[in-house]
Structure 1
Amino acid sequence: MAARNTLRRSLLYVPGSSQRFLDKSRSLTADCVTYDLEDSVTPHMKVAARSLVRRAIDQAAPAGIRERAVRINSVDSGLALGDLTEVLQSPNLTTIVIPKVNSASDLTFVTDVITHTLSQQPPAERTPISLLALVESAKSLTNLSQICAASPLLQGLIFAAEDFALDLSITRTPSLTEFLFARSAIATAARAAELPSTIDLVCTAYKSENGDGSPPAVLQEECRDGRRLGFNGKQCIHPSQVKVADQIFGPDALETEWAMRVVIADEKAAKAGRGAWTLDGKMIDVPVAHKARAIVKKAEACGVDVDALRGEWQHQEPE
């Protein structure tokens, strides 16, 4: 069976009720395109959107998209079962995004539906289903530990800032300091549960401030801020945001170069029986070496030619 995707620098929402947007999405490049059946779909279009999204994922995956997901309606809405019954018929579906996950029971319900539905289908080799859970309320925040342990299919957490602000009756400000506790708690809980994806809040700005097509400064700063807090991806509401998210949550060229130098030198230090050594005047020990290997692994997943980089720095020695 194919391995699950663990690279979600950008998660781009596409309205599931718009055939035009669904068609356009096939020409995009993004780590994860999420066809939306929830917020972007009006109530009278919910049923029709299921069929449109089902047909979209029945088509072969476009070359520029690593993962195609579907955001269903929340379990509390009463629409989740209908959404799942429809989209799970497609053998191409790999990922389900679940909104308003307030407790472990929401994930248990979705997991049970997936297990039952797939058991009724002819045996076939397909990619395992992955779940991504949206954290949107005070209740979900207090239940993070149980949520993270609720399903073996869970692959990540997503922070929904606007709904969280509504629930707590707070106002979003440019500094985002009002979300610091929630974002830190989400990133920490995901890491503790060894979930590969932590996807940060939506940036509502996407139009160029200068009229030259350059990305808004606030988008870049939000991505950097999210990365500093431990997130490894960002929700996007417009294709123009994807490139910025991919760049900032992807491997920085200088950081990747440093990491490869550390990996090469650490291999030589280990052969010499040295547990700690220095590079550029700074101590390198086991945690730093592990971090460097993780950076190199991510860079390779993002398409960086790490073999060429290794060849370039093959003579690096531990100081």
Structure 2
Amino acid sequence: MSDYIVRATAAGAQIRAFAATTKGLVEAGRCAHNTSPVVSAGLGRLMTGGVMMGAMLKGEKDLLTLQISADGPVKGMTVTADSQGNVKGYAINPRVMLPPNGAGKLDVGGAVGKGMLRVVKDLGLKEPYVGQTALQTGEIAEDLTYYFATSEQVPSSVGLGVLMEKDNTVKQAGGFIVQLMPFTEDKVIAALERNLAAFSSVTKVLDEGKTPGEMLELLLKGLDLEIVDTMPAQFYCGCDKKRVERAIISIGKKEIKEMIFENKDIEVNCHFCNTSYRFSVKELKELLDKSR
């Protein structure tokens, strides 16, 4: 089954909700960066949260970036998503290995550590919107829940999960975001809280064969769930050699001349998809001419 996001409302639009299955895009990220199991889980959760938050954007060219800077061994992670269901991401230290946590699960919180979550929304205005909050657990879902409550003043519940196979491939991945509108009635909140308390986990539900829509049926049971639409999701990086050429030209003539003087090919690596682009001395001379 391909990755996709479901958008929904419930309780007469007092609740808005998103749910996603993201096994393919998390596996694509794992393959691109050769991440360890704990980093696959952490980056996978952040990409899953990011792709659903990207689906909240209105404009076709709007972009969302989630940046974690922390003191754990992974050092930090960055994810970028658009409004079309495309997401990409990387971890600074992708091969961190840690023993399981006290619950016998991958210790994402230990790998991430303490630090900050930064959310940047480029909505095509003069200045992007930037929100920043302290990480609460480093487990990602709780950190995004806290961000929504403090930076956007939107009471939310975020669930994210990545289940790994023993061979380090991704078995299941997905998540949900459920948000309350300002006029939500107390009885609706109470019903939602009961449903959340009874909900097992994202990966357990997906591993049972349930779809994102069925996940929302559990979360919003008795609250008149209405699926608004679905959209595909994928790991996608729009980098290509032409873009890298423009980036090299932008660094200036002096730096390009220094590269040429060394008389060696250079290799430029894309952080997000780990693709490498090689430029010969001849190509660098052509770029120098274009920079004039």
User: Given the two structures, how large is their TM-score scaled by the length of structure 1?
Assistant: 0.26
- Give the structure with the higher percent helix: 1
TM-score (structure 2 length as normaliser) = 0.28
Bigger relative contact order (CA 8 A; separation at least 6)? 2
- The structure that is strand-richer by fraction is 2
